[in-house]
Chain A
């Protein structure tokens, strides 16, 4: 496998993934809502894409986060956690293939967040259907999950452009954000 990222990007993606896992394990917000994991996840995926600027970076970040989480045994899922991190990331990257450059940074972030959330919720949906849950119940659960996740994901997506702009102000990004607007 030949990866298109240079070493610096790859390292940054790795660090982002690790930071995501660290924060996730440190915060452990007990809100009783199932969607709050989407907040950090969406935020870091979008930051990764913003900093590296290549399609594929989100998938890399998601898979690495899954691997790191599995190695540190953060989640309870074991191998399942790889899917949990990886699936939304892949969906976001797929969407990026079709729409990169079409929207402003802000709307792109929001749309990506919603798509990631859709993938995240449908993972649970498919799991429930495979387990033999009746279609209606699974659909209602899917809807609840999606709404909760979407709330958090959009909140995170709205935070991404200002953060990226600040990183740009520190002259830490390769490519300037100004040519995107």
Chain B
């Protein structure tokens, strides 16, 4: 089967025609095409799209990914749209409403498949083909600092909770407490980040960042995995 074959291609990229990166680029394009198909295909073509998306779902579920979050979004959409259709157009057009919701749901499915079957690094590699080196550096730095940011945020959050700020998950259900979250947690983190960006920019400049036309990269070892 076609989807099966590309799936094995992802597992042992060196033995097959496509490398993992090319496979990922292909998957990105495929999901974009399928998403836009969901909007532009006539009703008669929806069956085929359902079939293709069904294969993607099976592939995603086969790799042990969860689809419940997406299904919940679909159900909420359905619950919101159908009563509106009933109120405004009467019973006769309920089917139209269901088809519309189906289309929106089909537009989201390829994205779910893409993000659940492709590794983030590969996606990043594909995207960096089109980005200037400075922004690629920024993205790489941000992603690299992500664990630090998360830890810092969590620590500040825990400390502020201990100090008695009303930012526990229960208190946050009340939007009145949101300003407190901003002042107690986000502001300190922002200050940290501003300082950090200053230091990083200085460090990179001292290493002649941006002065060479062809930047050097750390050798990629991921391909050999």
The answer to whether A78 and B138 have CB atoms under 8 Å apart is no
A79→B182 contact, CB < 8 A: no
A9 to B193 alpha-carbon distance, docked (Å): 11
Q: Shortest CB–CB separation between residue B199 and chain A, in angstroms?
A: 9
Closest residue of chain B to A65 (Cβ to Cβ) is: B142
Contact of B209 (CB < 8 Å), options: A7, A12, A22, A78: A7
Cross-chain pair count, CB within 8 angstroms: 184
Contact string against A for B residues 98-117, beta-carbon threshold 8 Å, 1 for contact and 0 otherwise: 01100110011011111110
Residue B73 is within 8 A (CB to CB) of chain A in the complex: yes
Interface 0/1 of A105-138, CB less than 8 Å to B: 0000000000000000000000110111110110
Mask of A1-15 contacts with B, CB within 8 angstroms, 1/0: 101001111111111
| A72 CB to nearest chain B CB (Å) | 6
Cβ-defined contact, B191 with A172, below 8 A: yes
Known contacts A15-B142, A17-B142, A137-B84: A7-B123 contact under CB 8 Å? no
CB of A70 closer than 8 Å to a CB of B: yes
Q: How many residues belonging to A are interface residues under a CB distance threshold of 8 Å?
A: 59
Within 8 A of B (CB), among A1-59: 1, 3, 6-19, 22-23, 26-27, 29, 31, 39, 43, 47, 51
Question: A residues bordering B, Cβ < 8 Å?
Answer: 1, 3, 6-19, 22-23, 26-27, 29, 31, 39, 43, 47, 51, 64, 67-68, 70-73, 75-81, 127-128, 130-134, 136-137, 140-141, 152, 155, 159, 163, 166-167, 170, 172
